[in-house]
């Protein structure tokens, strides 16, 4: 077990190109335990590529990606497979199998691993209960709304209780109310289970929901991170151990354009950064 505040995902001078297209040129950052780092950047800036690097689904041309203390470039195929079981990935398009039921979609990884049917069923139910979709067990993805499909993807990513979950644009295309249910889920995972995450989004508003709220286990719902009714000050946005729980990484032209906290983003006068605020 790592200690609070320990680095969980570390990128060191990561570069990656496809043919002639340089996607990431020199990207370095760290995500600490229980932190949610929000990735922002225009379409094509490399957010999905970065998440795939963190999951070991792509390897960099240069630099290192170290996750859970393991240098992913040094793992054998077998070790990489084991590593990926510890990472939950909520894909941008949901990536559900249309011909399989919700339960089968969620169970997919366990069935592949040969987990006994009874145990699988129990764990699938538990994951679907967590995303409040137990009733949809036997439905096909085509019968669900966009928000429900997104929740199924999250349930699937939760199989095996991964310490890290990578969310690729989990609220894209959803109305604000549905987007909020997804944000609440992400907060529950972070604050009840200590999940460390990277989250790509175009909607900074959603990200502020992650920065300004936390899930209160005792009350069973989200509450503002500042307890009193006064306006939040940067210090009050920090949890007890002093580590920011939500931070922001802005990508531009293959590089880290900004890496910091909400209050710095909000007071930035930079046009590129401000373009994500509207
Ligand atoms: N497998 C691949 N082969 C070739 N080029 C790729 C591949 N995957 C991604 N790219 C290119 O890498 C760049 C970054 O893509 P990426 O999908 O990471 O962008 P993104 O920031 O996630 O965009 P969006 O906001 O639209 O999801 C794009 O130019 C894309 O065409
Ligand atoms: Mg993408």
DSSP, residue by residue, 120-182: HHHHHHHHHHHTT-GGGTT--GGGS-HHHHHHHHHHHHTTT--SEEEEESTTTT--HHHHHHH
d(Cα 74, Cα 157) in Å, to the nearest integer? 25
Does 150 sit in the ligand 1 pocket, CB within 6 Å?
A: no
- Tens-place pLDDT, residues 109-150: 888 888 888 889 999 998 999 888 999 999 999 999 888 899
The ligand 1 atom nearest the CA atom of 19: 4
| Residues of the chain under the 50 pLDDT cut | 1-3, 228-233
Residue 71 has a CB neighbour count (10 Å cut-off) of 12
Ligand number nearest CA of 254 is 1
Cα of 262 vs centre of ligand 1, distance in Å, is: 26
User: What one-character DSSP code corresponds to residue 3?
Assistant: P
Domain positions in the chain: 87-161
Q: Which residue has the tokens 């209050």?
A: 263
Q: Please tell me the predicted confidence (pLDDT) of residue 202.
A: 85
User: Does residue 41 have its Cβ closer than 6 Å to ligand 1?
Assistant: yes
Q: What is the pLDDT of residue 15?
A: 97
CB 249 within 8 A of CB 38: yes
**Residue 239 has what pLDDT?**
54
Going by alpha carbons, the residue nearest to atom 7 of ligand 1 is 18
Q: Specify the pLDDT at position 36.
A: 92
Task: Round to whole Å and give the CA distance between 226 and 235.
Answer: 10
209 lines ligand 1 (CB under 6 A): no
Our answer on whether the CB atom of 51 is closer than 6 Å to any ligand 1 atom is: no
Structure pTM? 0.89
The residue to which tokens 């200690």 are assigned:
3
How far apart CA 163 and CA 159 sit, in angstroms, is: 11
The span from the CA of 236 to the CA of 118, in Å, is 46
pLDDT at 16 (0 to 100): 97
Report pLDDT for 159: 87
Between the CA of 54 and the centroid of ligand 1 the distance, in Å, is: 15
At 65-85, the pLDDT tens digits run: 999 999 999 999 999 999 998
């Amino acid at each position: 077990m790592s200690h609070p505040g320990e680095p969980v995902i570390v990128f060191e001078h990561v570069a990656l190109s496809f043919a002639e297209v340089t996607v990431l040129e020199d990207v370095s950052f760290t995500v600490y335990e229980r932190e949610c780092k929000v990735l922002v950047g225009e379409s094509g800036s490399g957010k999905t590529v970065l998440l795939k690097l963190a999951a070991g689904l792509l390897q960099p041309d240069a630099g290192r990606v170290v996750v859970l203390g393991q240098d992913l470039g040094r793992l054998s195929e077998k070790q990489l497979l084991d590593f990926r079981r510890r990472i939950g990935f909520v894909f941008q398009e949901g990536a559900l199998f249309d011909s399989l039921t919700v339960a089968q979609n969620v169970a997919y990884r366990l069935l592949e691993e040969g987990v006994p049917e009874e145990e699988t069923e129990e764990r699938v139910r538990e994951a679907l209960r967590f995303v409040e979709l137990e009733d949809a067990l036997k439905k096909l993805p085509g019968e669900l709304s966009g928000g429900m499909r997104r929740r199924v993807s999250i349930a699937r990513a939760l199989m095996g209780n991964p310490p890290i979950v990578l969310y690729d644009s989990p609220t894209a295309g959803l109305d604000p109310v549905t987007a909020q249910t997804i944000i609440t889920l992400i907060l529950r995972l972070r604050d009840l289970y200590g999940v460390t995450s990277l989250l790509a989004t175009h909607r900074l508003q959603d990200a502020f929901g992650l920065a300004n709220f936390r899930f209160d286990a005792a009350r069973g719902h989200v509450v503002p991170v500042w307890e009193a009714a006064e306006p939040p000050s940067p210090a009050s946005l920090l949890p007890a151990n002093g580590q920011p729980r939500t931070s922001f990484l802005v990508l531009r032209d293959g590089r880290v354009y900004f890496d910091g906290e909400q209050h710095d983003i909000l007071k930035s006068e930079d046009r590129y950064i401000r373009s994500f605020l509207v």
